């Protein structure tokens, strides 16, 4: 990972003429580079967590992937050395969560009439604070969120705000932000995990295209 502003070189030059080796095929040489990818998420009730794991599965063929919650120390450590950060969180009040909205989510989880439980890593900061606190931001980024399955104009979407916050810090977004949908009762809609796996693969392909062109 290089600090923001530094230029990262992925170029692979020809082997020195003095070496008696088979000529390097630039295409396979490029493939030999293992990109380092951090999938970082915030989650109150577990849906964004599950989506993050599915995205990481889709990304697995494209590099070394570490998945961590914003409240795990590992999230910062992995991001510091990552080429790409894939960052997501739940949509609260049309955007990224805030301390007050997370408190409201905790209250909902304590309501026995609702079938909700709070993630072990939920208490603490959210994506908004995590980005502000990052000392180094990877060169490349992609953003996702979870939100209610209704017209986006009514729900808002945290992912656009996450992308904006990361690009403001100097990272380059390689794919449009994506939303994954939950019901009004906070249950992931059918096929969203498959969609997340596929989106993870699309992020991997976008990363490869970005590096190779």
Residues in CB range of 38: below 8 A, 6 or more apart: 65, 66, 67, 68, 75, 78, 79, 82, 84, 85, 86, 138
Tell the smallest beta-carbon distance from residue 177 to ligand FMN (Å). Answer: 14
Is 48 one of the binding residues for ligand FMN (CB under 6 A)? yes
Residue number with CB closer to ligand FMN (101 or 167): 101
Tell the smallest beta-carbon distance from residue 211 to ligand FMN (Å). Answer: 31
Tokens coding 159: 């992912």
Please count the CA atoms within 13 angstroms of the CA of 118 that sit on its side-chain side: 16
Tell the smallest beta-carbon distance from residue 185 to ligand FMN (Å). Answer: 9
Distance CA 108, CA 4 (A): 39
Of 55, 134, 143, 148, which one interacts with ligand FMN (CB under 6 A)?
148
Is 105 one of the binding residues for ligand FMN (CB under 6 A)? yes
Is 146 one of the binding residues for ligand FMN (CB under 6 A)? yes
Tell the smallest beta-carbon distance from residue 200 to ligand FMN (Å). Answer: 17
Please count the CA atoms within 13 angstroms of the CA of 140 that sit on its side-chain side: 22
Show the beta-strand stretches assigned E in 5-58.
35-41
Of 126, 138, 156, 200, which one interacts with ligand FMN (CB under 6 A)?
156
Is 44 one of the binding residues for ligand FMN (CB under 6 A)? yes
């Amino acid at each position: 990972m290089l600090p923001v502003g530094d230029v990262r070189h992925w170029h692979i030059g020809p082997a020195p003429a003095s070496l008696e080796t088979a000529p390097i095929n630039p295409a396979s040489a490029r493939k030999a580079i293992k990109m380092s990818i951090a999938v970082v998420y915030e989650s109150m009730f577990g849906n964004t967590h599950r989506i993050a794991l599915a995205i990481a599965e889709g990304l697995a063929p494209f590099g070394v992937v570490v998945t961590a919650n914003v409240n795990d120390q590992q999230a910062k450590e992995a991001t510091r050395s990552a080429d790409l950060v894939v960052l997501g969180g739940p949509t609260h009040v049309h955007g990224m969560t805030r301390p007050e909205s997370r408190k409201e989510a905790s209250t909902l989880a304590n309501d026995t009439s609702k079938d909700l439980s709070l993630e072990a890593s939920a208490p603490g900061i959210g994506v908004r604070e995590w980005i502000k606190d990052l000392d180094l931001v990877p060169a490349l980024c992609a953003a996702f969120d979870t939100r209610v399955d209704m017209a986006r104009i009514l729900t808002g979407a945290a992912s656009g705000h996450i992308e904006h916050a990361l690009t403001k810090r100097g990272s380059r977004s390689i794919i449009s932000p994506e939303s994954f949908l939950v019901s009004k009762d906070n249950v992931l809609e059918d096929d969203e995990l498959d969609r997340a796996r596929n989106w993870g693969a699309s992020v991997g392909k976008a990363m490869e295209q970005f590096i190779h062109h």
